[in-house]
Amino acid sequence: MTIKDPVVEDVVATISRSATEIRQGLIGRRGTIDEENPSGETQAEADVWADGLLADRIAELDGVGQYASEERTDVIDCGDDPAESDAYAIAVDPLDGSSNLKSNNTMGTIFGVYDAALPARGETLIAAGYVLYGPITTMVIATDETVAEYELSGGERAIVDSDVTLPGEPVVYGFGGRVPDWTDDFREYAREIEHELKLRYGGALIGDVNQVLTYGGTFGYPALESRPVGKLRLQFEGNPIGYVVERAGGRSSNGERSLLAVEPEDLHDRTPVHVGNAALIDRLEKALE
């Protein structure tokens, strides 16, 4: 599978080559450091290390004007301003689910290629995807043309599915947050889903969303009573994941509308995230009305 846009291909190739190294570099970096990221969360040593590695490599690519990640406060300007040129802005969650490092469970790396200066609406994404560090390392890449899945080995990517499509019949679900902290409307909706689908929740967005893409169903990290804006970050998690799932034939929502239509106010905005089969996301939005 070739990616038509050479800058997107360069970004994807850089991330796929780095993934093998990131996976290997997790060994010995499972602890936390005495620092917080801009969202106020304690950083893992690996979060900061993976961010540095990706920032160095992505920022130097031709056609990349900005690099931003959930691990650093500000955007790095590294070329032409995406607002005034053909350059793209790359937003990254270097390690998604890094609290899973301690228990040695699934994690990922998420990226979005925005044709706009950050923060930007998801509608300006021209590509997005993720690496999944599971028993094997895979990469899902969505562009305007298609969603494809690859296996990564030694920095090379080998195609496994050139047309990833959300299965029509939903099978699995995963909802984040503590049940008593859910809103009454969401809890009522979740109770129905629990009777229809099978629970799959691993504590890393990427692992859980990849199950939804594989089997059909829904993943949600909802608005909480204690935190109405939810937990996940719009630029680094919500938008890229929303883009992938929408391109694969599903829907994304912040509870009211497509994640891709949400206007950001700040680089580190949080948002409720819901993705999956369109019929389920339609039902969710109705339940929250």
Nearest approach, Cβ of 175 to Mg ion (angstroms)? 16
Asked if residue 51 binds ligand FBP (CB under 6 A), the reply is: no
Asked if residue 269 binds ligand FBP (CB under 6 A), the reply is: no
With CB under 6 A as the contact rule, which of the stretches 89-97, 124-132, 133-141, 157-165 interacts with ligand FBP? 89-97
> Is 102 marked as a binding-site residue?
no
- The dihedral formed by the CA atoms of 27, 132, 137 and 30, expressed in degrees to the nearest 10: 0
The helix (H) or strand (E) run that includes residue 109 is strand 107-114
Residues 166/245, Cβ–Cβ less than 8 Å: yes
Round to whole Å and give the CA distance between 244 and 239.
9
Site string for ligand FBP, 119-158 (x = CB under 6 A): ----------------------------------------
Residues 133/127, Cβ–Cβ less than 8 Å: no
> Distance between terminal CA atoms of the chain?
42
Identity of the residue, 58 or 205, whose beta carbon is nearer to ligand FBP in the bound complex: 205
191-195's contacts with Cβ under 8 Å and 24+ in sequence apart are: 193/218, 193/280
Identity of the residue, 149 or 237, whose beta carbon is nearer to Mg ion in the bound complex: 237
With CB under 6 A as the contact rule, which of the stretches 80-88, 91-99, 142-150, 179-187 interacts with ligand FBP? 91-99
Asked if residue 203 binds ligand FBP (CB under 6 A), the reply is: yes
User: Which residues bind to ligand FBP, rule: CB under 6 A?
Assistant: 41, 93, 96-99, 176, 203-205, 221, 231
